[in-house]
Structure 1
Amino acid sequence: MSIFPSVDHLRQSKGADLGTSNTIEVSQSRIDQFAAVTKDEQWIHVDAERAVQGPFGTTIAHGFLTLSLLAPFLSDLIEVQSATSSINYGLNRVRFPSAVPSGSVLHAKGRILDIIDRAGAVDAVIEVAIFVKGSDKPACVAESIIRYFF
């Protein structure tokens, strides 16, 4: 985790590598729960028998499930100690270059792309790449914007 004691330290960190997060397992149970909550119960996610005949040979996580893991991964990657609060302000770009097979273990790597001053706040634009353990190709790459209030 990269810890920034103040907004000034954060401002000076454009381009900084934030390291690697803890891991998260994407079990079939997690995929099934996500499918139920989002009503996205496409067979490639929830039907193990049919998925064997599909393009990945197994069920895969939803792209949006993988994207939703940005929240815990970002908590692992960055802390701004002097911030009074922070919010997910949005995303600039999201891609899903490879699938996340059921049972995969994921981790993320982060890098600060930009720091933008706002009235009473600062936006950190952070590129997060999520990887399946054992793969060099990311499963998801997203530019996340975190607004830190001071």
Structure 2
Amino acid sequence: MDERIKKFIASCKLLSWAMRDEKGVYIANAFYAFDERNLALIIASHEDTKHIKLAFKESKVAVNIAKESTIAFLQGVQIKANFCKANEMQIQIYYKKFPFAKLLGGTTFALEIEYVKFTDNSLMLTKKLEFYQDFVKKNEL
């Protein structure tokens, strides 16, 4: 993954993610920590929430992270990811970034990145960068 994409993802902390529900699409927001080594976004939530129940039913989810700015400097990523429970290392990454979250309880999950489209209007020549996880073929997305 291009270092500019990693730097952007690491610089933010709030994402919006979408999953399928019985009527189409459902969306939720979550604070996240970035597991750069495994290219995953780590979130925490309670297993009885609608968004977590839906993600367990269909693990392919969509994610958006954006920084509010003027059009000339707009930055954001659109991500396709796979939802799963976080491993022990990822749990530590999350609570290091959000230690207060331990008080809230819940379970920690990973959104494993399969595809990223990074838009950065401040880039002079290339405004969009893409990343495909090696095991994902472009035509499967």
After TM superposition, the score normalised by the length of structure 1 is: 0.29
Higher RCO (CA-CA < 8 Å; seq separation 6+):
1
Structure with the greater alpha carbon radius of gyration: 1
After TM superposition, the score normalised by the length of structure 2 is: 0.30
